[in-house]
Structures are given as structure tokens and as C-alpha cells.
């Protein structure tokens, strides 16, 4: 791998930024200063230092994003702003993608990574990974509605959902604030489930996915790297 690509891949900066670092004599390969970004290195064998600090090569990156309304869960879009555009340019590494999709008007926890194996594990219907949301529903979610949701709903197109766990948090002004847990990921599933009950989802916010909980300190549109512990637990899901 080229040295400039290696340093860009680990998040040291954009390709143009790392070239300046290299030309400035800040980079050593196997204790020898290298000023040419085209130098080929073996990422697992060669020792790379930047300002005498040893750089550990990293294949995969994991971020937790608190998705705001108005952005789409996609890697690119010609018209609308994407979740990847919320990342700093330095963190917007090649190959990153959102794990699953949140609707444009849905907020909350979204994992962004380049680890396809983990993404498949979290999204595969065979693994039944839980996804927890808080929602505001127009209408009263009564005991009968909770029972119907728990036993599975037949959507308007005839599809059948698995049972959902629903906790009513508050009733006010003919609206219900609820917490709902599902273990599948049909298109617009929660909105369609309540639509089948002739109810409308006004607000939807994802707060958990698998073992990962949305960090309360992250404002909408903010993100951070996952900790090693969080990554390990996700891989156990």
C-alpha cells in the first residue's frame, strides 16, 4: 500500500494533508525518514512513525452518530444531505457506510462503519438483533393496541410482523409517548405497524441497537468513535 494512502486510511488526514506531513519529514518507515507518499509499505510488517509516534494500522472504523432529521441514511445522494456528510472530512474515510437506514425524518442512533461483516450480523433477520425506539403517536395506544403489537401486526400489504414489545410512557393531548422494541427491519416498519392500527407516528427516535445505547451526551448531528468495549459487545450480538 502507498504510504500516503496508509496514513489517510487510518484517519491521519485527507490524502493532500498527509502528503504535506510526509514531505515535511515527519514520517519514518522502519526508523528511516520518508518524504515520498508513493513509497510502498507492508501495513502489517513495516513500522510507521509520525513525529516519532508509532502508528498502528487499523482496518475497520466504527462511529456512533445521533442522526438528526433532514438527512438521509446513504453514502451519497445528488440532492439530499447524507449522514456521511455529518462526519468531519478527516473521519470521512473511504468505504464507510451507515448500518441500516433511518428514515429522513427519524432521529437517533446510527452506526457508521466499514466493517461489512458486523453490519451483516446486525442486520440479518436470522440474528433478531433488537432495535429500541421512543416514539410519539397520534392517538391513544391502549392495552388492546399493545396486545396486538405484541402478537404481531398484519400490515396493509399483507405482510406479517413479529411481535413488538411496547411500553406506554405517557398519554397527553390525545397523543401517546411510547418505547417500542422490534427485532426485524422491514421498510418503514414502525410507521406501517401503527398505520395498520389507523394511528400516525409523529416522532421516532432510535435509542438502542443490539447492545449499543445512544450516548446521552451526543447532540443531534454529533458523533464519536465506538469504544473497544462497545465494539466487542456488538460483535457478540
What are the residue numbers of the active site?
A: 103
Which residue do the cell numbers 396493509 mark? 156
- On whether the CB atoms of residues 22 and 4 are closer than 8 A, the answer is yes
Burial class (CB in 10 A: 0-12, 13-18, 19+), 160: exposed
Cα–Cα distance measured from residue 1 to residue 166, given in angstroms and rounded to the nearest whole number:
50
| 84 sits in which H/E element | none
Per-residue DSSP letter, 235:
H
The helix/strand/coil state of 229 is: helix
The helix/strand/coil state of 123 is: helix
Radius of gyration of the chain (CA): 22
Per-residue DSSP letter, 11:
T
What nine digits make up the cell of 237?
A: 450480538
Amino acid at each position: 500500500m502507498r504510504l500516503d494512502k496508509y496514513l489517510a486510511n487510518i484517519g491521519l488526514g485527507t490524502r493532500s494533508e498527509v502528503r504535506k506531513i510526509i514531505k515535511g519529514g515527519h514520517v519514518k518507515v522502519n526508523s528511516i525518514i520518508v518524504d515520498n507518499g508513493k513509497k510502498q509499505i507492508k501495513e502489517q510488517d513495516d513500522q510507521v512513525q509520525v513525529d516519532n509516534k508509532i502508528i498502528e494500522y487499523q482496518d475497520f472504523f466504527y462511529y456512533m452518530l445521533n442522526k438528526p432529521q433532514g438527512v438521509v441514511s446513504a453514502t451519497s445522494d445528488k440532492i439530499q444531505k447524507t449522514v456521511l456528510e455529518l462526519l468531519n472530512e478527516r473521519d470521512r474515510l473511504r468505504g464507510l457506510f451507515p448500518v441500516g437506514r433511518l428514515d429522513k425524518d427519524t432521529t437517533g442512533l446510527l452506526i457508521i462503519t466499514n466493517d461489512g461483516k458486523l453490519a451483516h450480523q446486525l442486520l440479518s433477520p436470522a440474528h433478531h438483533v433488537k432495535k429500541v425506539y421512543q416514539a410519539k403517536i397520534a392517538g391513544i395506544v391502549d392495552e388492546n393496541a399493545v396486545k396486538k403489537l405484541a402478537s404481531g401486526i398484519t400490515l396493509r400489504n399483507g405482510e406479517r410482523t413479529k411481535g413488538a414489545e411496547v411500553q406506554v410512557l405517557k398519554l397527553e393531548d390525545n397523543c401517546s409517548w411510547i418505547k417500542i422494541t422490534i427485532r426485524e427491519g422491514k421498510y418503514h416498519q414502525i410507521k406501517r405497524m401503527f398505520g395498520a392500527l389507523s394511528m400516525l407516528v409523529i416522532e421516532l427516535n432510535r435509542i438502542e441497537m443490539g447492545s449499543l445505547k445512544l450516548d446521552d451526551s451526543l447532540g443531534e448531528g454529533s458523533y464519536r468513535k465506538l469504544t473497544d468495549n462497545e465494539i466487542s459487545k456488538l460483535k457478540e450480538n
